[in-house]
Structure 1
Amino acid sequence: MLSNKLKNYKVILASGSPRRHELLKDLDVDFTIKLKEVDEVYPNNLKSYEITDFLAELKSKAFEKSIEKEELIITSDTIVWIDGIALGKPKNYEDAFDMLSRLSNNVHEVITSVCILNKNFKKVINDSVKVYFKKLTKEEIDYYITTYKPYDKAGAYGIQEWIGKIGITKIEGSYFTVMGFPVHKLYKELMKL
């Protein structure tokens, strides 16, 4: 259905995330992966979804000068938002441990933004989900970081991994947004093309 809608486009996913690759593939979209180096820095005054909107759009700007007429570029960014602070990807073990300790026995938001870019238009969408964590023990946090090495994940965790299965007690919103792609909203936007 969606593949028919996109038959005149050459869809490019500008993401190295295996989760995003899998989720876009599950929508029956034919796409290629193209990565461009982007310095993911945002202004300090941005909060919540403003950060992910800014970064998703920033990633798309790397393609603006070279985009061809039939190309459709999809970029995305995810953060964990807790107590007015954005958690991105952890730099090292200590950073990951601090992040997971902060999420333990607490509620946070996971916000994902997607930018859809073509020669003729640009659209940014976002989605937000509330995630509830049980109290995690130091041993559980250590085991997860040591075993799963979540250094490529915002907030130092993947909902689909061990920590999500044993630690998350409730989510309010889309599971896939927490994974890094609000597929329900992306599908709706792509169907409008």
Structure 2
Amino acid sequence: MTRLVLASTSPRRRELLAQLGVVFDVLPVAVDEQPLASEQAADHVCRLALAKARAGAAQAGADVCVLGADTVVVVDGEIFGKPVDADGAAAMLRRLSGRTHQVLSAVARVHRGGHQVRLSESTVTFRALSAAEITGYCATGEPLDKAGSYAIQGRAAAFVRHLEGSYSGVVGLPLFETAELLAGVA
């Protein structure tokens, strides 16, 4: 049986992958997550997922299947990654308040020298948020390591008026696409 490795430090991704009932190891990797000049959001998230999987494969050794993933929020064509601080989180949340945005989540598999990438696109609509709600949410610390400054699986669930697409993709690992990638691994 091929060893499976998740190239991620995200506890959310570990929890989601465990839902598929697979046995896996976790291998933290470091990848520069800055968008390239003029890079479109879908290209960006796919590039990072693959870079993470390749970095994990370089560390893990031969005949290991490595998964990498990345998630971004996109509003008005702008990529929202993780905020730098609470002020940055509040600014992102003000931009998302009362609006619809996209969440792009990519997962990549590197195995036996080959690779595959799958992209999940979801649409999320937030209700209007008051300044006090944004300040209070930022004070919890929850938005600080999340793309777009919110955790749909956490307190920000109360902000979501509508979700179209993949809930697990918005959390950080699209399970449908991940299961598709793993189906081809013996």
* TM-score (normalised: structure 2): 0.94
CA distance in 2, matches of 1:162, 1:149: 8
- Indicate which of 173, 182, 185 corresponds to 1:190: 182
Match of 2:121 in 1: 128
Contact 2:7 2:56 in 1 (8 A): no
CA distance in 2, matches of 1:131, 1:156: 13
- Indicate which of 163, 166, 174 corresponds to 1:171: 163
Match of 2:70 in 1: 77
Match of 1:3 in 2: none
CA distance in 1, matches of 2:171, 2:60: 28
1:42-91, Cα deviation, whole Å (9 max, x unpaired):
31211121110011112223234444332111110000011010000000
Within the alignment, does 1:181 sit opposite 2:182 as a pair?
no
Match of 2:15 in 1: 22
Mapping 1:29-44, distance limit 5 Å: 29-44=22-37
CA distance in 2, matches of 1:63, 1:188: 20
1:89-130, Cα deviation, whole Å (9 max, x unpaired):
000011000000000000000000111011231111110000
Partner amino acid, structure 2, of 1:175: Y
Match of 1:153 in 2: 146
CA distance in 2, matches of 1:192, 1:10: 13
Q: Which runs of structure 1 show a deviation greater than 3 angstroms over 4 or more consecutive aligned residues? A: 63-67
Deviates more, 1:170-179 or 1:59-68: 59-68
Partner amino acid, structure 2, of 1:113: A
Residue identity over aligned pairs, in percent, reads 33
Contact 1:12 1:73 in 2 (8 A): yes
1:1-32, Cα deviation, whole Å (9 max, x unpaired):
xxxxxxx1111111111111001011011011
1:20 alignment partner, SS class: helix
Question: 1:31/1:45 Cα in 2 relative to 1: closer, same or farther (>3 Å)?
Answer: same
Within the alignment, does 1:92 sit opposite 2:85 as a pair?
yes
Q: 5+ unaligned residues in a row in structure 2: which ranges?
A: none
CA distance in 1, matches of 2:59, 2:156: 41
Contact 2:57 2:65 in 1 (8 A): no
In the alignment of these two chains, the number of paired residues is 185
Contact 1:90 1:154 in 2 (8 A): yes
2:145 alignment partner, SS class: coil
Q: 5+ unaligned residues in a row in structure 1: which ranges?
A: 1-7
Question: 1:54/1:18 Cα in 2 relative to 1: closer, same or farther (>3 Å)?
Answer: same
Question: 1:92/1:148 Cα in 2 relative to 1: closer, same or farther (>3 Å)?
Answer: closer
1:90 alignment partner, SS class: coil
